């Protein structure tokens, strides 16, 4: 039996804010803003009550507070968000092994092989919504023949909705949408298409492909032509490996003191190492990201001859990368430390710093720290160098 709409896109509703409500039920129904609390903090999530005042993610926190001064404020709690993301992933995997996560709070599911057990794709969507509601969270589900259409369907159904785009009604759903709905149409491409008089997806679909390719380039033209005609042959890729694990901070004031900067690199290395271990990864390329006060940004990387997931080794590499920078550089606005070249599992070799030739001391110490943080919270244990230091606005990634 061929399933006409086998792809689901599940997108959590105001995920970080919703997790904060689960942690503190007194926040339910209130305007809630989650993000960095410093002067340069950025909104990472907002409840729908706060969104009614114009607050949205990626907005400067200062502006968000001006728009909604009576909102409840919460700092990012990435360990909690990761834990709930894992619970959500378990729900998805209970219906199909074909799950492609896009971030902590959204994923594609191919349920073509699951209909004999769980029913039609739309029924699977309803069951997923019910299971996630049991976690105290809300989600929106799009059901369609392709990934692109499923994502558009979930966008259209937000919040807390479920929308099916049947295979025989793709054109009816897709063609009235604005051209910016097509993946690959950013600001610049949108301007080119507008100059050509193309304002809807239908306009793109009806334009000769060669004309479109001449206007925006052969590759992008072919891509947009296919999407506008409902063609998206990409399969759901299950369990796609994370590309990088990292952490970054934008500071409330620009940094220039080497001692202070190195301390922040240590903080970031510790956070990144913890996220590596929590996600079950290790890696061998350490990257330092620096954004200066003039908003220019550079990255510097070093690849080790072995995998690592320890604070000490990630810190030593990132610190060395920083110390090689021009001492006459501008003040620093943002720092980030990330690790790429990831593999699954603990590294085969640990750092040797006087704790045993096999590095077992660092391994055991890291496990002990992780256990304490899981039991008593992220700030329950930390490096002595960082005690009683102010915490700048936090950010992080697992991509």
Residue found under tokens 């949205």:
56
Residue found under tokens 């309803």:
126
33: its two tokens: 């803003």
Q: Is 222 helix (H, G, I), strand (E, B) or coil?
A: helix
- Among all residues, which ones are annotated catalytic? 106
Evaluate whether 140 touches 11 at the Cβ level (below 8 Å): yes
Question: Rounded to an integer, what distance in angstroms lies between the CA atom of residue 333 and that of residue 335?
Answer: 7
Question: Rounded to an integer, what distance in angstroms lies between the CA atom of residue 56 and that of residue 48?
Answer: 9
Question: Rounded to an integer, what distance in angstroms lies between the CA atom of residue 65 and that of residue 59?
Answer: 10
Question: Rounded to an integer, what distance in angstroms lies between the CA atom of residue 177 and that of residue 148?
Answer: 13
Alpha carbon 6 to chain centroid distance?
A: 25
Q: What DSSP string runs through 106-148?
A: EEEEE-GGGHHHH-SHHHHHHHHHHHHHTTT--EEEEEESSHH
Helices (H), the chain: 15-23, 48-51, 61-67, 78-93, 115-118, 121-133, 147-157, 170-174, 187-195, 201-206, 209-216, 218-228, 258-279, 311-323, 360-376
Q: Are strands 244-255 and 393-398 parallel, antiparallel or unpaired?
A: antiparallel
**Which residues, in sequence order, are CB contacts of 306 under 8 Å at separation 6+?**
284, 347, 348, 349
């Amino acid at each position: 039996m061929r399933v006409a709409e086998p792809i689901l896109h599940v997108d959590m509703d105001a995920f970080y804010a919703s997790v904060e409500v689960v942690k503190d039920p007194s926040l339910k129904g209130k305007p809630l803003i989650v993000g960095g609390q410093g002067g340069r903090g950025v909104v990472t999530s907002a409840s729908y009550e706060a969104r009614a005042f114009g607050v949205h993610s990626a907005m400067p926190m200062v502006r968000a507070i001006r728009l909604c001064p009576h909102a409840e404020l919460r700092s990012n709690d990435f360990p909690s968000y990761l834990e709930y993301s894992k619970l959500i992933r378990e729900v998805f995997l209970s219906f199909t092994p074909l799950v492609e996560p896009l971030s902590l709070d959204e994923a594609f599911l191919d349920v073509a092989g699951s209909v004999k057990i769980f029913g039609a794709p739309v029924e699977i969507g309803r069951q997923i919504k019910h299971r996630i509601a049991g976690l105290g969270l809300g989600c929106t589900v799009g059901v369609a023949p392709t990934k692109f259409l499923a994502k558009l369907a979930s966008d259209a159904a937000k919040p807390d909705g479920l929308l099916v785009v049947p295979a025989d009604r793709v054109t009816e759903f897709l063609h009235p949408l604005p051209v910016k709905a097509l993946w690959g149409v950013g600001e610049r491409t949108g301007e080119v298409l507008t100059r050509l008089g193309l304002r809807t997806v239908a306009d793109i679909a009806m334009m000769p492909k060669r004309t479109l390719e001449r206007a925006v380039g052969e590759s992008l033209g072919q891509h947009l032509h296919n999407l506008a005609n409902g063609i998206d042959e990409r399969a759901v890729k299950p369990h796609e490996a994370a590309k990088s694990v990292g952490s970054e901070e934008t500071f409330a004031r620009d940094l220039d003191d080497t001692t202070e900067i190195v301390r922040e690199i240590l903080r970031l290395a510790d956070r990144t190492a913890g996220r590596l271990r929590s996600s079950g990864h290790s890696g061998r390329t350490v990257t330092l990201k620096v954004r200066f006060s003039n908003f220019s940004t550079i990255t510097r990387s070093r690849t080790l001859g072995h995998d690592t997931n320890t604070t000490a080794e990630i810190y030593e590499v990132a610190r060395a990368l920083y110390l090689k920078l021009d001492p006459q550089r501008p003040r620093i606005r943002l720092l980030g430390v990330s690790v790429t070249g990831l593999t699954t599992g603990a590294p085969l070799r640990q750092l040797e710093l006087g704790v045993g030739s096999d590095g077992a001391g660092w391994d055991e110490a890291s496990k002990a720290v992780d256990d304490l943080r899981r039991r008593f919270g992220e700030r329950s244990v930390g490096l002595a160098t960082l005690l009683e230091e102010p915490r700048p606005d936090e950010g992080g990634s697992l991509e």
